[in-house]
Structure 1
Amino acid sequence: MQLPESWLRAFVNPDLDTDALSHRLTMAGLEVEETATAAPPFSGVVVAQITEIAAHPDADKLRVCQVDDGSGEPLQIVCGAPNAAAGIKVPLARVGAELPGGMKIGTAKMRGVASAGMLCSARELGLSQDHAGLLVLDENAKVGQSLRDALDLDETVFTLKLTPNRADCLSMLGVAREVAALTGAPLSVPRFEPVPVTLDDRLPVTVQAPDLCGRFAGRVIRGVNARAATPDWMKARLERAGQRSISALVDISNYIMLELGRPTHVFDLSRIQGGLTVRWAREGETLELLNGQTVNLTPDVGIIAAGDVVESMAGIMGGEATAVTLDTTDIYLEGAFWWPEAIMGKARRYKFSSEASHRFERGVDFASVTEHLERMTRLLVDICGGQVGPLDDQVIKLPAREPVRMRLERCRRVLGVPVDRAEVERIFSSLGLVHEVEEGDVFVVTPPTYRFDLFIEEDLIEEVARIYGFERIPDLPPVAPARMLAVPEVQRGPHLLRARMAGLDYQEVINFSFVEEAWERDLAGNAHPIGLLNPIASQLAVMRSSLIGGLLANIVHNANRKQSRVRVFELGRVFMRDAQSADGDLSVAGVSQPQRLAGAAWGPALEEQWAVPARPVDFYDMKKDVEALLGVRAQGLVCVPDTHPALHPGRSARLLLDGQPIGWLGEIHPRWAQQADLAQAPVVFEVDVDAISTVPLPTPAEVSRQPIVIRDLAVLADRDVSYQDLLDTLTQTVRSNATLGIVRDIKLFDVWRDKSSSAAETSMAFRFWLQDRDATLDDATVEQCLARLLEALVSAHRVRQRA
């Protein structure tokens, strides 16, 4: 929001210079993001008057002007502006002047005629985008005076960065209230005499949606001159506040919005057939807006209609059908209170924004509607003339101003400052907060009608802190002892998990918890995701129940930017419906919010190098990374073939850790890889963080000094017998037989199938490491051990030893 300093000081003029005022606003929560002068730097430009004008002898569109610049000697300047005329006062850039952009003015010849300077338009001086002709100055401007002094172009314009809760400061009056409270300077609200009613004309208005419109006011004004010129003072204030001057009727409406924070709308009365109806839109209705955009309305969008014709989108933007033009003579002036919940997010849905919706969706003062319309009527009649009808005001349903209680002792504890009762009373009074003090120094505050951000005790404590001054709060170190908490050795926190993933060559990403509904349906198999009431974007409409969709989007984003190898991970919460979940400090009833850790890899398994041939990352590369992440607990990891909506049906598995399901691992389904235009399917995993956050304590054991014996055993098994089945049998046999305790490790090192044979068998070769703790193993003991293991496999799976 741009804030001209002179306009602000017309409301409240504290004894502070510009820098001090800027600092005071920033420290009160109204951050001054930037300060700049009203016009960009330029020099050597003065007020001049055209005394004579003649046609150029060799150019039809150029004219030769004699100009008085106050120096006593007339200057001859060639000008091509269509509005150049004798007697007008205009800006003159003298020889040697420097204009915005670094343009320097010197003497020149234009079609053979000497020109000693340049007459300027507003755009050439950086004052506005108007380039239709010369900037015509007030006739009372002093010839020879610097243009910067004549138009006060060195005035400071503040750019405020307001937080969304401070809608009351989206106007000069709102900021002035804050300055008055901060400095104690008196607040001067514009005074005016209401325009006397001279017509009996009324426009009937019916409000059918009390949950859309809480108050509606308006009046008929006839005989206005829409071609009247906007006064220079108003035009200057609007332009310095960032609003382009359009026409008198539109400018006055914008002026009231910036001055008082009241968005209004002016209808062309002759285009309204019958009365107006305020209601919710019907399915299939459309509206052409003032910005030229035609929108398809939905039943949750409020409108103002005349019969069956939609005239405007309530609280957001007017329609082209009833827009005022320069030929308009009769108008209907409207001001209303629209419920913020009814306006919130609607403009973003249609991919545009408006000054009105920006204010209404945050909350606009509902008590001063008629007062602001009277002020606007006064300006309209003074500038455009006209006959005024009575002001109709319908109060349907207004927000209740619920009292907010604040304990003085609680305020002192939160701020850490012994603020006394009198100081708090002064602060609340300066802010216009009507209050009472109950027994025990409990302040009961009734929020004003223009404050939509005061609901709880902490809101009032914040108001005390802002006005008391954050700089007055002493910077004291904490007095509580800093005790180091012991970290359990068996616990692995999020930071350690992130470090492990980074050490495995993955880069961390942080994605939105809001995702596309299609991701939940297609990639998570969640037909009923948790929807958002007010999504920040139309495509981010539901809460995620899986991290896989976000990682897939990260890979697609990088692939589209010519990255050939991507390895990313994310540690974050997912959100699922759960009737067993109860309300708590960190939980919400009906919603489960577990933490998940997910990783995705795409492209070559290794960085490009000379020693190893390039190959794409596969299931087993990712499994190896998961095992490295689990560390010693990887011994209990089992991959069970299963199906997942996001994963390849033959290249995915459910992960079990010590018999408990912890997540998934596999390739992305070819359908989703093709849809994402990826030539190779990424490999992903997702595991529950709680399930992998504990590790067993190390168990010390004596290291055997005896040599290790290595033996191989190859067996032929039916193809429906998996390696995991054989390994489970071997492991169980070792555990159940004390004489097999010498088996230290078992690994699969070869898998072979005879494609020429019709037998449905697979050869699997196992390698065993055997070691006794006390004595060197002899061949008989080793052979006896392998025979028992082979016997167990034959008995359980009917395998055959391969020769």
Structure 2
Amino acid sequence: MNIFPVQLKAPEHCAHYAGRVIKGVNAQALTPLWMVEKLRRGGIRSIDPVVDVTNYVMLELGQPMHAFDLANLSERIEVRLASEGETLVLLDGQEITLKDDSLVIADAEKVLALAGVMGGQGSGVSASTTDVFLESAYFNPISIAGRARSFGLHTDSSHRFERGVDYELQVKAVQRASALLTQICGGELGPVVEITEAEHLPQAKQIRLRQARVEQLLGFAMSAEQIQEVMLRLGMQIEAIAAGEWHVLAPSYRFDVEIEEDLIEELGRIYGYSNLPTRMPDMSMQVQKISEDQLAASRIADCLVDLDYQEAITYSFVDPKIQSLLDPEVTPLALANPISAELSVMRTTLWAGLLKAVQHNQNRQQNRIRFFEMGHRFIVSESGMTEQNVLAGAVTGPLREEAWADGKQAVDFYDVKGDLEMILGLAGGDVSCQFEAANHPSLHPGQCCSIVKGGQKIGYLGALHPKVQQELSLDGPIYLFELQLSGVLSGGKASFSEVSKFPEVRRDLAVIVDQDVAAGLLLQGVERVAGELLKNVTLFDVYEGASLGNGKKSLAMGLTLQHASRTLNDSEVNSLIDSVVSFLKQEFNATLRD
């Protein structure tokens, strides 16, 4: 008998398979011109009559098919998962190494095809073929989704299977292809072999349809008679369960209909979208509460735009090579089905996307770049993945636009630091921010600092490490910053104090300290000791020289003092200055400079 046995060894992936042997086929026959033209208009080129018939049926019925040369098959057809390391040479000549989750069509000896994607070269139909085995199967869309992309493939077959096909269409497709093939190439038909694992096929579920919901979504009252008529015309099974309510079963070929809104969309489509009435919805508006101690993210963006930055929006998935360069200490989350190898991991820092944008612009002769971005980074920990909303930026090139009077000064670390100080000051409040020397694997060890607000580290600022810059072929220097957005937006409520009518008193101090003493910490200490009488303290000079001694520097600061309700006398001012000098000597081993 002209029967070739079939076994479904992975029914959860393939639950319905139909096949048929056709013997005595003339594979050298010519495909009819009408079929060649139909295929051409469908974007498919004519190959040979057997392949053309399977492609034509795919266009006509939506069911992908495949034809095997029966002489190249051994004992039986098996639909199974591949073993790790098995190889297959595809019809296009590409050899792939299969994974253990790859669904394949095989015989008793070898893999024949990558299921739902492409056939193998060793079992395909050729000009010498006389006996053919036609295949038509239903594959679970989840089993096929992403498999073609994982091997760098995209075929008409995988495109359809990923989106779903009718699970009752397989036998009809085999019969239609058989009729066309025998009409064109002749041959003797064998019986159709059909294998079904019903428990693994999609189960039609009842969908509740409500007339009131139809009116709510479409904006007008459609009669019960109209609703039932449209459903029946679409091939749906409909059963009334109450006044204005029905249970609806969609046919197998309407696998896109799953919820009530899908049915209502069909009602609107048949009624005519242009015929639907226009009516403004009833909406109750509520004014959103805005906390006084929380800054809006849009205010940050506006300020950066005012500072001549441009907002960038980059992908959340990035190149793993760039990711490992910028954040080598963190293992990123890898995507199961990336759209490309260059976009296969979730970013743990926004710098990955921003530096690609910098690279793109520098390659197009743009030398002044000032980007910022607000977005999420994805951090994997033992407790799972967390998304952190951050503000990041990349700056390089001239400080200002080129002009006759300016434009040649290059941006430096302190220019970007000044921009961040302005941003951090927008939230207001009494919470101080410090820039403390730090180390980061992707930043220059001599130009890197952490940003601390209220005792919590909220981010980093620094120059891109020269090795990373060279690896990415970037022109520099490039300055980067990244801060947790929650730390930037949190502030304090605005407060008011009356402007004093009494004169200010200024005293200047110059102290000698060790070179590793941070001026910011010293100024903060002065503010604490001076108390409410200190209105402002300014560092106006830093000097290093041989006259000070090895490893020493001079810091000169101006202290502005003022009382709210009276004039300060000399004894009060001198006493406060003595307290400051004593504090500096005790805490920083500072001495007054002559």
TM-score, structure 1 as length reference: 0.69
The answer to whether the 8 A contact 1:647-1:668 is kept is: yes
* Superimposed CA distance per residue, residues 732-755 of structure 1 (whole angstroms, 9 cap, x where no aligned partner): 1022xxxxx332111222222235
Q: How much does 1:704 deviate?
A: 3.3
The answer to whether the 8 A contact 2:399-2:407 is kept is: no
Q: How much does 1:318 deviate?
A: 1.2
Q: Say which one has the larger Rg.
A: 1
Q: How much does 1:332 deviate?
A: 0.9
2:578 corresponds to which residue? 787
**Matched residues, number:** 590
1:416 corresponds to which residue? 219
2:389 corresponds to which residue? 595
Within 5 Å, which residues of 2 pair with 1:288-303? 288-303=89-104
Code of the residue aligned with 1:436 in structure 2: it is E
Code of the residue aligned with 2:361 in structure 1: it is N
1:742 corresponds to which residue? 533
Check if 1:535 corresponds to 2:338: yes
Which range moved further: 531-540 or 591-600? 531-540
Cα distance, 1:573–1:395 mapped onto 2, change above 3 Å: same
Within 5 Å, which residues of 2 pair with 1:333-482? 333-396=134-197, 397-439=200-242, 441-480=244-283
CA distance in 2, matches of 1:600, 1:630: 17
Q: How much does 1:612 deviate?
A: 5.1
Within 5 Å, which residues of 2 pair with 1:245-284? 245-284=46-85
CA distance in 2, matches of 1:472, 1:481: 27
Within 5 Å, which residues of 2 pair with 1:578-589? none
Q: How much does 1:577 deviate?
A: 4.6
The answer to whether the 8 A contact 2:293-2:427 is kept is: no
SS state at 1:593 partner: strand
Check if 1:628 corresponds to 2:422: yes
* Superimposed CA distance per residue, residues 21-44 of structure 1 (whole angstroms, 9 cap, x where no aligned partner): xxxxxxxxxxxxxxxxxxxxxxxx
1:135 corresponds to which residue? none
Choose the corresponding residue for 2:316, options 481, 502, 513.
513
The answer to whether the 8 A contact 2:294-2:427 is kept is: no
Choose the corresponding residue for 1:619, options 413, 416, 419.
413
Cα distance, 1:405–1:664 mapped onto 2, change above 3 Å: farther
The answer to whether the 8 A contact 1:520-1:527 is kept is: no
1:689 corresponds to which residue? 485
Q: How much does 1:261 deviate?
A: 0.5
The answer to whether the 8 A contact 2:459-2:483 is kept is: yes
The answer to whether the 8 A contact 1:669-1:681 is kept is: no
CA distance in 2, matches of 1:760, 1:689: 38
The answer to whether the 8 A contact 1:304-1:311 is kept is: yes
Cα distance, 1:306–1:681 mapped onto 2, change above 3 Å: farther
1:205 corresponds to which residue? 6
SS state at 1:702 partner: coil
SS state at 1:625 partner: helix
Q: How much does 1:550 deviate?
A: 1.4
CA distance in 2, matches of 1:437, 1:756: 99
1:331 corresponds to which residue? 132
CA distance in 2, matches of 1:438, 1:801: 93
The answer to whether the 8 A contact 2:219-2:279 is kept is: no
Code of the residue aligned with 1:751 in structure 2: it is V
Within 5 Å, which residues of 2 pair with 1:188-227? 200-227=1-28
CA distance in 2, matches of 1:679, 1:721: 33
Q: How much does 1:567 deviate?
A: 1.0
CA distance in 2, matches of 1:756, 1:210: 87
Choose the corresponding residue for 1:799, options 581, 590, 594.
590
CA distance in 2, matches of 1:523, 1:430: 59
Code of the residue aligned with 2:187 in structure 1: it is G
The answer to whether the 8 A contact 1:667-1:684 is kept is: yes
Code of the residue aligned with 1:627 in structure 2: it is E
Q: How much does 1:730 deviate?
A: 0.7
Identity %: 38
Check if 1:663 corresponds to 2:440: no
Which range moved further: 621-630 or 296-305? 296-305
CA distance in 2, matches of 1:774, 1:671: 59
The answer to whether the 8 A contact 1:794-1:800 is kept is: yes
SS state at 1:203 partner: coil
Code of the residue aligned with 1:592 in structure 2: it is T
The answer to whether the 8 A contact 2:332-2:345 is kept is: yes
The answer to whether the 8 A contact 2:150-2:337 is kept is: no
CA distance in 1, matches of 2:475, 2:548: 35
Check if 1:648 corresponds to 2:449: no
CA distance in 2, matches of 1:703, 1:641: 37
2:110 corresponds to which residue? 309
CA distance in 1, matches of 2:335, 2:256: 22
> Greater helix share, 1 or 2?
2
Cα distance, 1:613–1:404 mapped onto 2, change above 3 Å: closer
* Superimposed CA distance per residue, residues 679-720 of structure 1 (whole angstroms, 9 cap, x where no aligned partner): 424222222223332443433333334444443211111234
Q: How much does 1:359 deviate?
A: 0.2
Cα distance, 1:613–1:574 mapped onto 2, change above 3 Å: closer
2:543 corresponds to which residue? 752
CA distance in 1, matches of 2:347, 2:266: 37
Higher relative contact order at CA 8 Å, sep ≥6: structure 1 or structure 2?
2
The answer to whether the 8 A contact 2:23-2:188 is kept is: yes
CA distance in 2, matches of 1:413, 1:446: 22
CA distance in 2, matches of 1:715, 1:732: 18
SS state at 1:361 partner: helix
SS state at 2:375 partner: strand
CA distance in 2, matches of 1:527, 1:209: 38
The answer to whether the 8 A contact 1:362-1:452 is kept is: no
1:714 corresponds to which residue? 510
Q: How much does 1:316 deviate?
A: 0.6
SS state at 2:372 partner: strand
SS state at 1:332 partner: strand
2:398 corresponds to which residue? 604
1:770 corresponds to which residue? 561
Cα distance, 1:444–1:646 mapped onto 2, change above 3 Å: farther
Which runs of no fewer than 5 residues in structure 1 stay unpaired?
A: 1-199, 581-589, 736-740
CA distance in 2, matches of 1:365, 1:417: 33
Code of the residue aligned with 1:550 in structure 2: it is G
Q: How much does 1:481 deviate?
A: 5.5
CA distance in 2, matches of 1:248, 1:521: 52
1:319 corresponds to which residue? 120
CA distance in 2, matches of 1:552, 1:472: 50
CA distance in 2, matches of 1:612, 1:774: 46
The answer to whether the 8 A contact 1:363-1:450 is kept is: no
Cα distance, 1:312–1:668 mapped onto 2, change above 3 Å: same
Q: How much does 1:725 deviate?
A: 2.6
Which range moved further: 216-225 or 742-751? 742-751
Q: How much does 1:771 deviate?
A: 3.4
Check if 1:564 corresponds to 2:351: no
TM-score, structure 2 as length reference: 0.92
SS state at 2:392 partner: strand
SS state at 1:789 partner: helix
